[in-house]
Amino acid sequence: EVLLVESGGGSVQTGGSLKLSCTASGFPFDSTDMGWYRQAPENECEFISSIRTSGITRYGDSVKGRFTISRDNGKNTVYLQMNSLKPEDTAVYYCAADPENLTHIQQLSVCWGYWGQGAQVTVSS
């Protein structure tokens, strides 16, 4: 059974930082690309970042230069370091396996919390 457990969310002020973690089980983590999506109220499910098994990373335009993704295969965990947070970063953040090959429905299932409960991030001005 695939299980993704996100943690590390919270409330911060504009300019603050948070680090999210996602621990995975039920599939071969070290041979699986991983990533993050987010869902804000009244917004579409948004791709945030991905990290391939090779270590190559990619970021959405809205977070480029502020967020950093990393992974620890020994701990089956992917991280998202978020700096210079803005109120528009407020959302529930979900991690995903093979994030760049998901169909639209699969992306929606990620942001509906089907694979993990997500981590709430709230940034106040």
Give the pLDDT score at 31.
97
Indicate the pLDDT class of residue 6, thresholds 50, 70 and 90: very high
27, 8 contact by CB (below 8 A): no
Give the pLDDT score at 3.
93
68, 81 contact by CB (below 8 A): yes
Give the pLDDT score at 98.
93
Give the pLDDT score at 42.
87
Indicate the pLDDT class of residue 110, thresholds 50, 70 and 90: very high
pLDDT, one tens digit per residue, over 9-43 is 999 999 999 999 999 999 999 999 999 999 998 89
Give the pLDDT score at 90.
97
pLDDT, one tens digit per residue, over 40-84 is 988 999 999 999 999 999 999 999 999 999 999 999 999 999 999
Pairing type for strands 119-124 and 10-13 reads parallel
> Rounded mean pLDDT of 5-9?
97
Q: Which two tokens stand for residue 6?
A: 């996100």
Q: Which two tokens stand for residue 41?
A: 């109220």
What is the helix (H) or strand (E) element at residue 80, kind and residue range? strand 77-82
